[in-house]
Amino acid sequence: MLVTKDGEKAKLTWPLIKRVLHYARPYRWQISIMLSMILTSTLLGLLQPLIFRDLIDNTLPQQDLGRLNLLAIGLLLIPLIGGLMQVWQSRLNAVVGEGVIYDLRVSLYRHLQYMSLRFFTNNKTGELMSRLNNDVSDAQRAITNTTVDLLTNIIQLVATLVVMFTLEWRLTITGVLVLPLFIPFTDRSSRQLRDIARTKMNDNATLNVLMNETLNISGVLLVKLFGRRQDEIKRFSGHAAEVRDMGIKRAVVNRRFSVMTGLIGAVGTALVYWIGGYFVLRGVFTIGTIVAFTAYLNKFYGTMQKLSNAPITFATSLVSFERVFEVIDLPHEIDEAPHAQTLHDIQGRIQFEGVSFRYASADDVQLSPVVRHGQMHTVRAVFSGGDKNTSAPSAISQARVDALSEVSFTIEPGQLVALVGPSGAGKTTLTYLIPRLYDPTKGHITIDNIDLREITLDSLATNIGMVTQETHLFHDTIRTNLLYARLDATQDEIEAACRAANIHDFIMGLPDNYQTIVGERGYRLSGGEKQRLAIARVILKDPRILILDEATSHLDSQSEALIQAALQTVMQGRTSLVIAHRLSTIIAADLILVLNRGTIVEQGTHHELLAIGGLYAQLYETQFKHTEASSPIS
């Protein structure tokens, strides 16, 4: 276990290393060949000084032209063969590195796809992007660049030292005597470089967060509406200046480190020439031996310099693996049973039996802060400058612990059921339980008398269609967004769905028709247009069960009327559960469920509930009595 200047521990445990090596196992043949090439390249590089020695001591004094030609050819072949091997080694290294990053990234993305909605509501998108991009890339470097460099330098160091002792043991001892001078200076310089790297990492992270916050479409709109362009330019310039200054400081420290280690190497070289020269004058060994030995000594010092920071660099790279593994090791909250059933030709009967639900604490599903080895702080609030490690609050509706409590009801096939109640009563939470975006804390939910936990997730998604109040569209064409419902849908089927959703004529009026790009999150379309596209997408999916949030209070009357007509079309012949905001939907419902503080306090038809004189009657008196049937419920 390595300890940094600040007392931070970089964990180098065998289980971690073993798990890292597991990702390299599919590429073991490429790695074996690569290691063989490293060894061969190292041995080739060690031949050159020996050729120089022979040239000085034998070939030139003896005026041997044939030997001179052979040595010249050898000096040409060594870099040629070495260069070809380096090209091949680089290709193998790339194959291994890119293969590992592919395997790791796909594993991580696959795992994230099966995480529950709770996980995504408690973790920042930017943090997940960091794990998928930055940490996976750093993990790749741990296997390729860092590991390969470490092994290469170790092989070169050992081989060079062996040749040096074989060539002249007295000069080897002389050259090794200066090694203690490397230690204090290397340690001091490496600490400085770690501090600079830590600060630069924080500065870069802050800059990235600032760009992410202000360059997405919502951030840009906010900046423009409040006239904060110059403020944001000034803020960005300040953070960019910090990154620039750290880059300059790092360059200076790096150069100073190189100069000082070069001077230390020069001391060793001078000693070798001094003592070696003395031995030459005494006839102990030849001039060529000193020249060859000095070449080896320079290679030895250079390798030592590269190895000085290797343990810290290797430990830092492994931290990225730890951060990726942290996500992969998170259990799937929503899991399929081992022998889960596939739904076919369902009737659409939905039953809740004593269902309770509680949102877990954010700490239970929140990733650890973005802290890397040698890094003290995390980016928390780029605008206010705060960096306190505060957990996200738990989701508690209407200031209560349980979002739903002992909810029981039955929806028969083909029925239209309306959910009404005050804001925060648990209506949306209830609808999220049916497609298993969450699982109940207590109780059971069944479809056609089959528990949701016993149904495959894919078949459940196939049979349930959901239109939320907040419609999400990809930055792509209208046609591509619609095909997300059913990839094999024909153009005629797409157009039929759009006609049913009252959006076809609008699309055909666009310059590129169905090939029109909708923009980020569909921002180039109005709220009503996006919602009608969402309805068309559900119609194209053709689910047996439909869940709708039919909120239209923020739309103009024309869009509202078109959407209501589309909803009437899509609900025909399907089991429908609607979070109702309109009196017309409520009156048409076969069953109305009235929620308050997470419980169903009343259920029945419109007239039955009015006769009870309870919460529904109060809502009617305060919100609907003097409105027409087409008026929205707020």
> Which residues are CB-contacts of 254 (< 8 A; sequence separation ≥ 6)?
193
| Mean pLDDT, rounded, for 149-176 | 85
CB 307 within 8 A of CB 313: no
Return mean pLDDT, the chain.
79
Q: Which residue has the higher pLDDT, 323 or 311?
A: 323
Q: What is the pLDDT of residue 367?
A: 62
CATH number belonging to the domain at 12-328, selected among 3.90.930.60, 3.40.50.1110, 3.40.190.10, 1.20.1560.10? 1.20.1560.10
**DSSP 8-state secondary structure symbol assigned to residue 309:** T
Q: What is the pLDDT of residue 313?
A: 66
| Residue 7: C-alpha distances to residues 2, 25, 373, 378, 633 (Å) | 9, 34, 11, 17, 60
Rg (CA), the chain: 35
Rounded to whole angstroms, how far apart are CA atoms 213 and 579?
A: 32
Q: What is the dihedral of CA 19, 25, 26, 31, to 10 degrees?
A: 130
Q: What is the pLDDT of residue 198?
A: 66
Q: Where is average pLDDT lowest: 96-105, 517-526, 602-611?
A: 517-526
Tallying the residues shown for the chain, one arrives at: 634
CATH superfamily of domain region 350-359+396-624: P-loop containing nucleotide triphosphate hydrolases (3.40.50.300)
Total-model pTM: 0.73
Domain range summary for the chain, segments of one domain joined by +: 12-328, 350-359+396-624
Q: What is the pLDDT of residues 547-604, one digit of tens each?
A: 988 655 555 666 667 777 777 777 788 898 988 777 777 888 899 999 988 899 999 9
Q: Which residue has the higher pLDDT, 390 or 206?
A: 206
Q: What is the pLDDT of residue 37?
A: 86
| Mean pLDDT, rounded, for 193-197 | 70
Q: What is the pLDDT of residues 348-392, one digit of tens each?
A: 899 999 999 887 655 555 665 544 333 334 444 555 555 444 444
Q: What is the pLDDT of residues 448-505, one digit of tens each?
A: 999 999 998 888 888 988 888 777 888 888 898 898 888 888 999 999 888 888 888 8
DSSP string, 251-292: HHHHHHHHHHHHHHHHHHHHHHHHHHHHHHHTTSS-HHHHHH
> Which residues are CB-contacts of 307 (< 8 A; sequence separation ≥ 6)?
150, 153, 154, 157
The residue among 359, 526, 362, 350 whose CA lies nearest residue 428 is 359
Q: What is the pLDDT of residues 395-449, one digit of tens each?
A: 444 545 678 889 899 999 988 999 988 888 888 889 999 988 888 889 999 999 9
Q: What is the pLDDT of residues 66-109, one digit of tens each?
A: 888 888 898 898 889 888 888 888 888 888 888 888 888 888 88
Q: Is the pLDDT of residue 629 over 50?
A: no
Q: Is the pLDDT of residue 187 over 50?
A: yes
Q: What is the pLDDT of residue 446?
A: 92
Query: What is the band of 631 on the pLDDT scale with cuts at 50, 70, 90?
Result: very low
Query: What is the band of 334 on the pLDDT scale with cuts at 50, 70, 90?
Result: confident
In a 13 Å sphere around the CA of 422, the CA atoms on its Cβ side amount to 12
Q: What is the pLDDT of residues 7-40, one digit of tens each?
A: 344 455 777 777 777 877 888 888 888 888 888 8
Q: Is the pLDDT of residue 611 over 50?
A: yes
Q: What is the pLDDT of residue 41?
A: 85
Most confident of the ranges 50-64, 111-125, 199-213: 50-64
Residue 417: strand, helix, or coil: strand
Q: What is the dihedral of CA 528, 529, 534, 540, to 10 degrees?
A: 130
Query: 350 forms bridges with which residues in the sheet?
Result: 411, 447
Q: Which two tokens stand for residue 322?
A: 């730890």
| Mean pLDDT, rounded, for 338-347 | 86
Q: Is the pLDDT of residue 42 over 60?
A: yes
Q: What is the pLDDT of residue 364?
A: 56
Q: Is the pLDDT of residue 320 over 50?
A: yes
If one counts every other C-beta atom within 10 angstroms of the C-beta of residue 237, the result is 11
Q: What is the pLDDT of residues 132-162, one digit of tens each?
A: 777 777 777 766 677 777 788 888 888 888 8
Q: What is the pLDDT of residues 241-275, one digit of tens each?
A: 888 888 888 888 878 877 777 787 788 888 888 88
| Mean pLDDT, rounded, for 282-301 | 84
> Which residues are CB-contacts of 593 (< 8 A; sequence separation ≥ 6)?
409, 417, 418, 419, 420, 600, 602, 603
